[in-house]
Structure 1
């Protein structure tokens, strides 16, 4: 089994087809097809189904994919290790983060890092928390910034900051008093929330809200379950209910005046924001410097 065959397999999957993969690999399409044929022959099973609408992985392909990705990620780590011997504080760090976090004080930390280490280039990618972890796990990002610790055994999570969760309603809501200060003011008011199912990226937020509602005897309230933060905000703006959302995610809506923060301190809480990396990844000095910067900045803020 050749590395070039594994690279072709993963590239086809990511690109969604042989033609685009050939372009990315700077090869002819027959050359890419030949590599897959050799790989399938060695594995003894087809890896792709050819459909009229494109391709998709077979069961064998799905089983082989995570191992192939780990091989490529390991090779990438090896290259990084060799390059780091030449220039410890130079190179590129790919940093994946939840998009709303770019509007928090974490941006100040990134700016401080760039000014302190001008020879290190930061490449930023935004995604949901679960997608951030996948990018890190596959080796597409050296580091990630997400809500809550990742439970996967091959991912290491390091605390960065706490993100406030605020109770919000429509700017001119029909629910409750104009300035409610006690949880009881929201008795019977619907809550817009994430699904509690284990497959939902918002499950930790849903569980946290449930604990707050139970603690303050509001757990009989209706739940409007939406697996999209953007859709939740639109429903709250339309006064379908109230929500408990990250402060960074509602900055634009507060600026526009479409929502308001309800001053109910007992319901407000926070969630941890974590820096993550693969446990077995080689972390160059440049990559190690970024979490260290976050840690030092957080301890002094």
Structure 2
């Protein structure tokens, strides 16, 4: 789905006919019809009821209409932000991110953003969650991507993503072809984990203790890349949300196995920001993150 389809849908609705919409868009009428067919195929429902007395929105079309307007509004906001940033010579995006999220999760977001706005200069600071929050308080930058939220009178937090913890093994592991594992299975397996004292490690330990199971932390370290290499090398398995694992899960080097009756809390990702200090490029990135997936 692209913005041309959305624009065509709105034009057909407002004009009341495909021919009038084609004239307003300076397009052949068959092109307008083709675009509408593409859009309706993408959403899976008819959006415009074709009638001799005049086209009307279907029930599904009326439901879709406000979201179509929102898409175009976000695009216009983005264009306005580009113009303003360009005039002010501030076409630079600066943000903070925790080390674990900078590998795949943030890369994918930035990859799509750069495709839309290739002229943007980007600077990313990789810190701990506490350091990202402190840097935003100090005004070093206004946006950050972190793992948890809190009550705060100055800063805002918005949920970006939630995902389960999986049992991560090498693609050569005997269990790599399994559909799932149990926590009891995991308790009998040697693990590669963060060291004690990390909030993530404490969460895992708490669940094992609650289930009266032993946590076999064979190897402990504070470097995520080293943990991934240890698992890929067959020295043990680990417990992480797939977004921590980066391209190793995407390319099949590591395999993420679901945990039956998963007792672990969802791993959440939040955008933290100072709403009062967002510059035009910050706002453009914010709008991009929370616009419809169609963008």
1:244 corresponding residue in structure 2? 239
Residue of structure 1 aligned with 2:225, choices 226, 230, 233: 230
Q: Which residue of 2 aligns with 1:55?
A: none
Contact 1:165 1:246 in 2 (8 A): yes
Separation in 2, partners of 1:162, 1:213: 21
Summarize deviations over 1:192-242 as a string: whole Å, max 9, x none. 322342xxxx41x22332344345x36312224322212222332344432
Q: Name the residue aligned to 2:167.
A: 167
Quote the offset at 1:104 in angstroms: 4.7
1:95 aligns with 2:98: no
Deviations 1:239-283 (A, max 9, x none): 44321123133243346654322343434763111111247x522
SS in 2 for 1:236: helix
User: Counterparts of 1:96 and 1:247 in 2: how far apart (Å)?
Assistant: 21
From 249, 261, 272, the counterpart of 2:256: 261
Moved more, 163-172 or 262-271: 262-271
Q: 1:127, CA displacement in angstroms?
A: 0.9
1:293 to 284, 288, 294: 288
1:181 paired to 2:175:
no
1:219 is the counterpart of 2:218 = no
Please state if 1:124 is matched with 2:123. Answer: yes
Q: Distance in 1 between matches of 2:236 and 2:112?
A: 39
Partner secondary structure for residue 168 of structure 1? strand
Three-state SS of the structure 1 residue aligned to 2:259 is coil
**Counterpart in 2 of 1:210?**
205
Shift in alpha-carbon separation, 1:221–1:104, aligned structure 2, 3 A: closer
**Cα drift, residue 125 of structure 1:** 1.0
Aligned ranges 1:1-301 → 2 under 5 Å: 88-90=84-86, 91=90, 92-98=92-98, 101=101, 104=104, 107=107, 109-110=109-110, 113=113, 121-130=120-129, 131-149=131-149, 155-173=155-173, 179=178, 180-197=180-197, 202-203=198-199, 205-214=200-209, 217=211, 219-223=213-217, 224-254=219-249, 258-267=253-262, 270-278=266-274, 282-297=277-292
SS in 2 for 1:220: coil
Please give the alpha-carbon distance, in whole angstroms, between the structure 1 residues aligned to 2:118 and 2:189. Answer: 51
In 2, Cα distance between the equivalents of 1:168 and 1:235?
Answer: 11
Residue 27 (structure 2) aligns with: none
Cα RMSD of the aligned pairs, angstroms, is 3.9
Deviations 1:96-139 (A, max 9, x none): 234554565655654555566677x3423141433433443332
**Farther off after superposition, 136-145 or 249-258:** 249-258
What is the number of residues matched between the two proteins? 208
Indicate how the Cα distance of structure 1 residues 194 and 283 shifts in structure 2: closer, same or farther if over 3 A, else same. same
TM-score, normalising length: structure 1:
0.53
Q: Deviations over 1:54-92 (max 9, x none)?
A: xxxxxxxxxxxxxxxxxxxxxxxxxxxxxx99x745423
Give how far 1:172 is off: 3.1
Q: Note if contact 2:96-2:143 (Cα within 8 Å) is conserved in structure 1.
A: yes
